[in-house]
Structures are given as C-alpha cells and as structure tokens.
Amino acid sequence: MLIAGVLCVCAAGVLAVFGLRSLTRPAATSTAALVMRSVAPPQLAAATMLAAAGAVALAAPPATALTVVCVCIVGAIGTIAAGSYQTARFALRHEEAAVGSCGAPCAGCTLACH
C-alpha cells in the first residue's frame, strides 16, 4: 500500500497544481479560457479525493486501505469525467450563443440581424 499511497499523493499534487494554475489565470472572454477555468473546481475536488486516498493508504491497515483507495480513485475519475462533460456542454452553449440565433456564421446567414 506504500506505493499506492505515494502515487495517490503525487497525483493529487499534480491535479492541485493544474487546478490552481487554471484558477489563477487572468479572466478572458474566449471560450477556451472559460473552459480551462471551469475545469479547475473538479480538478481540485479530485485532488482532494486522491490526497485522502493517499493518506489512508499510508496510515490504515491494508484491507481497509485497499477499499478506500479504490473508492477514492473511482470517485476522482468520476469527478473529472462529470466536470469535463459539464464544461463541454457549457462551451457548446457558449459557442452557439456567440454564433447567433440561426446557428450559422453571419456571412452565410440570410436572416435579418437585430
């Protein structure tokens, strides 16, 4: 469990650094920058879960630690997946709103603009 604990703590550190880096970037109006910023909370949540898994793996008895580490890893992966899915939906809505009501760029639009 020592190896699993160290790997979980290292993965938690990497995710925390990426999450904090995304949060500390200056606010921008581009969709890519908004997506990077909105992925940060799930990254920080997953980092917390992995840090907890690493702490349990290093301190708890092996039978208990294995169960908790597995649950925390699955939870962290699920959190990242759900956050990425929600961010992709947000980006899609943001792009559709930027294009206009007809769904096409203005150059190919035959509708009168407001």
59 assigned to some structural domain: yes
17 assigned to some structural domain: yes
- Is pLDDT at 38 greater than 80 in this prediction? yes
44 assigned to some structural domain: yes
- Is pLDDT at 34 greater than 60 in this prediction? yes
Confidence (pLDDT) at 31 = 77
| Cα 76-2-16 angle, rounded to 5 deg | 35
Q: In 87-107, which positions are buried (b, 16+ CB within 10 angstroms) versus exposed (e)?
A: beeeeeebeeeeeeeeeeeee
Percent of the chain with pLDDT over 90: 57
**Owning domain of residue 8:** 2-90
51 assigned to some structural domain: yes
112 assigned to some structural domain: no
Number of domains in the chain: 1
**Residue 81: which pLDDT band, with cuts at 50, 70 and 90?**
very high
Measure CA 97 to chain center. Answer: 23
107 assigned to some structural domain: no
109 assigned to some structural domain: no
Measuring CA to CA, how many Å separate 22 from each of 13, 76, 112?
14, 18, 39
Tokens of 48: 């917390």
Between 53 and 110, whose confidence is greater?
Answer: 53
pLDDT average, residue stretch 39-47: 93
98 assigned to some structural domain: no
Contacts of 34 (CB under 8 A, 6+ apart): 28, 90, 91, 94
Measuring CA to CA, how many Å separate 87 from each of 17, 60, 113?
19, 36, 29
